[in-house]
Amino acid sequence: MADAMWLKADSIRAALGETVWYLEGDEDARTIRVRREIVEFLRQPLTGNADEATVLLRVLQTVPGVTSPQGYRIHDISNGRKAIDACDGTGLLYGFYAYVRAVMTGTVCECVAEPDQQIRMIDHWDQIDGSIERGYAGESIFFGRMDSNDHSDFRAFPERDTTNPFRGDFARLESYARLMASIGINAVCLNNVNVRGDATRLIVEPFLSKVTHIADLFDSFGIRTFLAINFASPKRLGGLSTSDPCNQQVRAWWAQTADAIYRQIPAFGGFVVKADSEGEPGPMQYGRTHADGANMLGEALAPHGGIVIWRAFVYNSQQDWRDRSTDRAKAAWNNFKELDGLFADNVALQVKFGPMDFQTREPLNPLIGGMKHTNIIMEFEITAEYLGHQIDVNYVLPQWLTMIDTDTMIDGASTDNDDASSQVKSIIAHRGPNTCHTGFAAVSNVGMDDNWTGNALAQANLYGFGRMCWDNTLNAETIANEWLAQTFPDASEKTIGIIRNILLTSNAVYEGYTAPLGVGFMVTPGVHYGPSVNGYEYDRWGTYHFADRDGVGVDRTQATGSGYVAQYPPRQAAIYEDVNSTPDELLLFFHHVGYEHRLHSGKTVLQHIYDTHFAGPEAVQGYIKSWENVRGQVPEAVFDNVAQRLAQQLDNAVAWRDQVNTFFYRMTKVPDEHGRTIYP
């Protein structure tokens, strides 16, 4: 029986008390879903007589303050009764969940709300053999055998019997859709962006009919279903001799394919595409641009209202460590900046928040802000690829919110929409030719494990991502408090306080004991968990630290380095160009400095490395100690799960401490100022 996460029907029913619901207005799949949520999920009375109701759910022609079909208004009406009003079934659904949340969190329930970001998307890197690329919570909820959850290695992608790769666990999928809708997620891509083998066939029969069953379910929860496609499909599925996006037969094939999809799934969202990156096919092999490729797909989807989400995570994965002039951080800009303005209205460019790859600390990807006439979807990774594999506790909202709150420092630049301030979240929401096609997307962290996310505390990141998308003004603590109140409705304030403290400090703790000062990576190659300081140092992935006996860090300045800094607007570039104005936490991302270099903190770089790496295991030991006080206060499965993960995390933190400290001690032979043990 899967964990209920933050929607515990019994607790909600108890909190709602004597509520009698009533629903009125034009019906659609969403309003019927609301009815079913009341009757089937909450098992609460839904009356046919408005006068008997304590909460009225109303789809109205107009609702004061509500301009979007996704918005809602919750307010008191006569006799202490509440009304949840919306102009559309989708808004009503969101209002319903918001009301439940308000009741569970004891917050004020008088509001008008509309989402800050239009696209609020979850990308699954699920593979049709049931494995999940970078998944740490079991097998795919969409694919695999009904009874299977054996965590198979995603890298194998074996040629299994794939006549029906779908798991077909619709009880699980309904729970998932409910959870996602409750936090405002409105788009889900079912399959991995690396579309290989039979996964290529998901867009055609017989697999398409199976996708339809899932999409229909999701549609009732206001979620549009997307599929990741293989750009070479016209050749691989269509029998054509080319997949050139400028070829008329290719365009016709995609148009026909899209038509067939929409005949079955009218609310189909569109395609997600990783092209010309890390070995995947794309338009460049035909001498065409990313815009040519994306627009060709956009043309096929446009008649149906579908969109193309084109990933900007494009780089040459054959970099040579010996060549200091190339810099992977520059790749997204170099590949896409010149295409700004050339993408169709229904194409969105999905851009990772940083220029590298979801590290614990990165500067903002300069394409965000740099692309002025392109719909942008900002990409996050909930699954903890580099952030502890959901073994180490890592509540990542502090980092994400830092990224969306970043000031791009764009001065009076021309934009398509004058509403946009220079803050990232505003830039994303208000720029681009069609702001309906902008927003945030993130890679899912869920799988078939009983608690969905491997570590029960990692549920908070899934919850937090949705909430962050909807309301860009929430802070990390508020989101944590919401999640805690709903997830542990019976816990004492003391218990909540203990868990809150672990959550809110965990992101900084993890950053502290892994790669220092923004230099990134230093993880075990391939696996991306645990330390390997030199693991990627001489490899082809462009992820280096350049440590030698004198210093460490990557010089990305214009004056003496790779010149990456020049991709930022002048005010920002000036800050990063100067070693003295670069923030400590990004120092080694932008500069190669001596170990004796003094940080703004007053410490040397070397002593900072030692200190943060000694602090890591100490903090985790503190977590273990404080978690003991939670025993009996949270469900036993949660207690045991987190206790076991914390023990593993301590091993990991110790491994990081000792390997990183020894690595730099061997480089410097400078002992720790405080005489702590560093192995020689």
Binding site for its own copies (CB under 8 A): 153, 156, 158, 321-322, 531-535, 537-538, 547-550, 655, 658-659, 662, 665-669, 679-680
Written as one letter, the residue type at 103 is V
Minimal distance, residue 678 CB to its own copies, in Å: 10
Instruction: Find the shortest distance in angstroms from Cβ 394 to its own copies.
Output: 22
Q: Which is nearer to its own copies, 218 or 665 (CB)?
A: 665
d(CA 257, CA 253): 6
Question: Does residue 206 have a cis bond before it (omega within 30 degrees)?
Answer: yes
Q: At residue 365, what is the residue type? A: N
As measured in angstroms, the least distance from the Cβ of 624 to its own copies is 21
Q: Quote the least distance from Cβ 548 to its own copies, whole Å.
A: 4
C-alpha triplet 191, 339, 409: angle, nearest 5° = 95
Nearer to its own copies among residue 473 and residue 524 (C-beta):
524
Bridge partners of residue 111, in order along the sequence = 74
Tokens of 313: 């995570």
Phi-psi category of 537—alpha, beta or left, where left has phi over 0 and alpha has psi -120 to 50? alpha
Identity of the amino acid at 472:
N
Instruction: Compare residues 132 and 660 and give the one whose CB is closer to its own copies.
Output: 660
* Strand extents, DSSP E, 77-182: 82-86, 111-113, 119-123
Where does 167-247 have alpha helices with state H? 170-182, 207-220, 233-236
CB of 669 to its own copies, least distance (A): 6
Measured CA to CA, the distance from residue 153 to residue 139 in angstroms comes to 10
Fill in the DSSP letter of residue 37: I
| Minimum CB distance to its own copies, residue 538 (Å) | 5
Catalytic residue among 278, 490, 548, 640: 278
With respect to its own copies, which residue has the nearer C-beta, 144 or 238?
144
Active site residue 153: no
Residue 528 CB-half CA count within 13 A: 20
Q: Which of 174, 276, 362, 385 is catalytic?
A: 385
Q: Taking the complex as a whole, how short is the minimal distance between the CB of residue 464 and its own copies, in angstroms?
A: 34
Annotated active-site residue 357? The verdict is yes
CA distance 138 to 449: 5
Nearest to 562 by CA among 353, 356, 276: 356
Of 3, 129, 276, 357, which residue is the catalytic one? 357
From CA 677, how far away is CA 680, in angstroms rounded? 9
Min. distance of Cβ 552 from its own copies in angstroms?
10
State the first-to-last Cα distance of the chain, in angstroms, to the nearest integer.
49
Site of tokens 């480089």 = 667
Longest C-alpha distance within the chain, in Å? Answer: 80
Residue 71 phi/psi, 5-degree rounding, is -85, 165
Nearer to its own copies, 446 or 552 (CB): 552
Identity of the residue, 450 or 539, whose beta carbon is nearer to its own copies in the bound complex: 539
**Distance in angstroms (rounded) separating the CA atoms of residues 438 and 486:** 29
3-state secondary structure 282-310: CHHHHCCCHHHHHHHHHHHHHHHCCEEEE
Least separation in angstroms between residue 555's CB and its own copies is 11
C-beta of 494 vs 666, nearer to its own copies: 666
Rounded CA separation 476/400 (Å): 9
- Residue 229 near residue 282 (C-beta atoms within 8 A): no
Structure tokens at 583: 């923030």
CB closer to its own copies out of 263 and 666: 666
* Residue 539 annotated to the active site: no
CB of 627 closer than 8 Å to CB of 642: yes
Phi-psi category of residue 164: left, alpha or beta, with phi > 0 → left and psi -120 to 50 → alpha: beta
178 versus 556: smaller Cβ distance to its own copies? 556
Shortest Å, Cβ 657 to its own copies: 11
- In which residue are the tokens 């446009």 written? 302
Written as one letter, the residue type at 263 is R
And the tokens for 664?
Answer: 């730099």
Contact in structure between 435 and 373 (CB atoms under 8 Å): no
Calpha distance 680→663 (Å, rounded): 9
Q: Could you tell me which of 500, 505, 504, 524 has the C-alpha nearest to residue 514?
A: 524
Cβ distance to its own copies smaller for residue 395 or 521? 521
Q: Report the residue number, 483 or 664, with the smaller CB distance to its own copies.
A: 664
- We find the least distance from the C-beta atom of residue 157 to its own copies, in angstroms, to be 11
The set of catalytic residues is 278, 357, 385
